[in-house]
Structure 1
């Protein structure tokens, strides 16, 4: 019983410490996060051709998603490809980390994959969310059309029975 009390006491101390750290972060505001973002942004050489190509790739993919918004089957293929790109981001990061000297001016590919997560996976996830929202809207529209057709069919059947 004393072991249980000791374990509960340790757990409560850990929880109190976590709450204290969390409230300290809230009190400090978003300034540290903003400073980290600005530091990250300025550490990147945005004039490198491969980075411009990556940004162009994401922009073109977004345009394709917007233009093809009526073609749900094609959008599902794009959705799966975007998610596959996110899934293989770790493998891609390892390959790029081993070969960065052949295409980049500095090593952006850390072992944790932060750079690739922000500039590769992040935009792909945003595009996947856009496709998902578009698909949900299309499905809602389809359900409304189906229900209207069902109601018209029932009205015709009831008119035929009355005649």
Structure 2
């Protein structure tokens, strides 16, 4: 019995150490990421026409997504278009990086595409996820309606057989 108690105590000490290490890594891991985000946010001139129009585009697309939530066919087209926008982000980043002087005051378009991923692909993926969740809810609603109709149909058939 004493061996079991010592094994349990040893195991608890090991688990405590692991939890403390994990929590310290999480605390130190979140702060640098937050600092990087704040630095990224302040390094960008958000009043540039390109960024203002891009923000407007994403807001309008989100509004269209919300108002068209009952039109599944339109939502699927919108879903495919948003994913195509993400797919062509690399080509768009290269094109915009080559021509940035025509529409921006500084070159935001690095070769790795971080800026475009944040301001272009991120919002498009968020809208695509919203469309996907809406489609799943619509599918669940249709399945429930179909099952209710099937139950009513079976009840009608059984009533007709009894008479």
TM-score (norm 1): 0.84
Runs of 4+ in structure 1 off by over 2 angstroms are 22-27
Partner of 1:81: 81
Q: How many corresponding residue pairs?
A: 142
Report the 3-state secondary structure (helix = DSSP H, G, I; strand = E; otherwise coil) of the residue aligned with 1:117.
Answer: helix
Partner of 1:14: none
- Establish whether residue 71 from structure 1 lines up as the match of residue 76 from structure 2: no
Structure 2 spans left out of the alignment, 5+ residues: 1-20
| 1:29 to partner: Cα distance | 4.0
Matches within 5 A, 1:1-163: 25-163=25-163
Partner of 1:7: none
Alignment partners' CA distance in 1, 2:37 and 2:104: 21
Alignment partners' CA distance in 2, 1:25 and 1:97: 36
Alignment partners' CA distance in 1, 2:120 and 2:58: 8
Alignment partners' CA distance in 1, 2:27 and 2:47: 37
Structure 1 spans left out of the alignment, 5+ residues: 1-21
TM-score (norm 2): 0.84
| 1:125 to partner: Cα distance | 0.2
Report the 3-state secondary structure (helix = DSSP H, G, I; strand = E; otherwise coil) of the residue aligned with 1:30.
Answer: helix
Alignment partners' CA distance in 2, 1:26 and 1:105: 37
Alignment partners' CA distance in 1, 2:153 and 2:67: 34
